[in-house]
Chain A
C-alpha cells in the first residue's frame, strides 16, 4: 500500500528492537476478551484510478450547475469562487498542519486567522470575532448559550424566521439545560413579530436572522429599541454573509453577538459542509466567548507574531467550566473565507452584494408581473418567497426534468405556506436564465 512505507526488512528489524516476534504480538498485552476474533469485512482495496471512477459515478448522479439551473439558497449559496482562492487554499502547509499550538512554526495559519477575525469583525461591525465555529447553526446555538451566561438568565427568544434547521439545533443544545426557548411569530410583511416581547420577562437574548429565512431584511435598529430590558442581548444571525456587503452591519444596529454562516465567502456547497460558523461579539463579552482566538504579540526579538490567546476559556484548560466544548473548529474554511473577502476587497464586496440584490429583484418583479404572488412585502436581499397556484407541484416536477430547480418548497418548514417556494438568485444567473424561468413557470 502506497501510504505505508514499511518493507518486510524494516518490520523485522523494528520488531526485534521492540522484542516481539510478529505484528500480532504487539497486541498480546490486550486481554483475550478484548481482541477482535473476525477479520475486517471490507471491500477489496481500490487503485487510485478505480477510486476516481467510483467517485465520479457517484458525483455524476448529482444535480449541479452548469447542467442544472439551481434556484436554491436557504443556508447554502451558489457563488463564483476565484481559482486563486481554491488554489491558495490547497497549499499543503495550510491543509496538513494541526491547530497552531507551536506558534513559531504556525505563523502562517496564525496570521491568516488573525486577518480572518479582523475581516469578519469589520464585515459584521463587531469588536471581536473568533477563529470559527462549525457552521451557522452551531454558531447560533453557542451564541444563545453565551447569552445565558452573560445575562445569568434561563430563557431565550428566537424568531420563527430563523432558518428552521438552526432553530432545531438551538433546541437540541438547549434541551438538557432545561432553559426555556420561546419562538417569536412572524408578521404578514415577513418580519419577526415582536408584539409579544413586552410580556416576556427575564430574557437572556432575542435572536433575529437578517436577511431572514424568507429573504426579508429585518429592521434591526428598531428591534434593538423594542427590546427594553437592558440585560437582554440582541443576537443577530445570518445565513447569507454576503448581504453585509450592502446592508448595515449587525454591530452598527446594536447587536451584542453576531453569528451565522460564512459559506457564501468562497466555500463550495459540498452537500452541506464543511461550512463556516462566523462568530463575533462586543469586546466586553470576550471572556464568555466560545472557540479559539488568535492575538497579536511579539517574539523575543521584538518581531510581530501571533499566538492562540485567552485560552483559559477553553476546554483543554477549564474543562467542565469551559465556555464551550469546541476544540477543532473549521479553521481552513475560515482561511478560505478570508482569502475570498480579501479578493473582493471593500469595493468588490459592495458591487457583488448589489449585483445579487439587483438580479434577485429582477426575478421578483418578473414573477409579480407574470401574476404570481410575492406574499411578503418587506425588502429582500437575494432570496424571496413566491406563492404559486395550487397545482404548481406538477410544474415544479416538470422543470426538474428540464434541469431547473425552481426554489425550495416551504411547506415542510411552514405548513401554512403550501405552494410557496423560496427562490434564490445570485450573480451566477443571467438575465436569459431568469426570463426563461419565468416563462417556464408560467406555462
Chain B
C-alpha cells in the first residue's frame, strides 16, 4: 500500500471525508473515489452504480465498490440527481484502480444545493485529515 506522501491527489479537485473526489464542470459535478480509497481497497472487482434519474441526499449511499474481500459503500459528497454513470466500469472495474480521476469516474450529478461544494475539503485539508 502507498505511503501518504506517495498518493496522487490533484490540486484542482475537492475531496470528501469518505474519500470521494469531486470535479465541478459548469453546473454539473463529476464524482469518483480517490487514489487513497482505490489503493486501500486493492484490486477492484465490481462497481455498483445507481440508475440515472435517481436523487440522493448528501451522505446517502449511492452505490458500492468491491474488492475480492471487502465491500465499501459509496457516499454522496453532495445532494443531487444522477445525470450519468460510467457504464464502462461494469466490464472494466479495474479502471478505478488504473485511472481513478479520469477513466475511473463514477457518476455525474446535478447538485441540488451548490453551496454544499464549499464544505468539501481541499487537497491540503484532506491530506491533513488523513495524517490525523
Contacts and interface: CB of A to CB of B under 8 A. Distances in A.
Output the residue of A311, A312, A317, A318 with the most chain B CB within 10 A: A312
Nearest to B72: A312
Contact of A318 (B46, B68, B71): B71
Nearest to A316: B69
A321 B64 CA distance: 12
Nearest to A311: B69
Contacts of B57: none
Interface in B44-97: 46, 66-71
Chain B interface, DSSP helix/strand/loop, else mixed:
strand
B1 to A, nearest CB: 19
Interface in A283-327: 287, 311-312, 317-318, 321
Interface in A302-360: 311-312, 317-318, 321
Contacts of B68: 311-312
Interface residues of B, number: 7
Contacts of A311: 68-69
A321 B71 CA distance: 10
Contacts of A318: 71
Nearest to A321: B71
Interface string A126-148: 00000000000000000000000
Contacts of B69: 311-312, 317
Contacts of B67: 312
A312 B67 CA distance: 8
Contacts of A321: 71
Contacts of B66: 312
Nearest to B71: A312
A293 B66 CA distance: 16
B63 to A, nearest CB: 13
A321 B68 CA distance: 16
Contacts of B71: 312, 317-318, 321
A318 B67 CA distance: 12
A396 B3 CA distance: 79
Nearest to A309: B68
Nearest to A318: B71
A124 to B, nearest CB: 26
Interface string A267-293: 000000000000000000001000000
B125 to A, nearest CB: 31
Given A311-B68, A312-B66, 11 more contacts: A287-B46, A311-B69, A312-B46, A312-B68, A312-B69, A312-B70, A317-B69, A317-B70, A317-B71, A318-B71, A321-B71
15 contacts: A287-B46, A311-B68, A311-B69, A312-B46, A312-B66, A312-B67, A312-B68, A312-B69, A312-B70, A312-B71, A317-B69, A317-B70, A317-B71, A318-B71, A321-B71
Interface of B: 46, 66-71
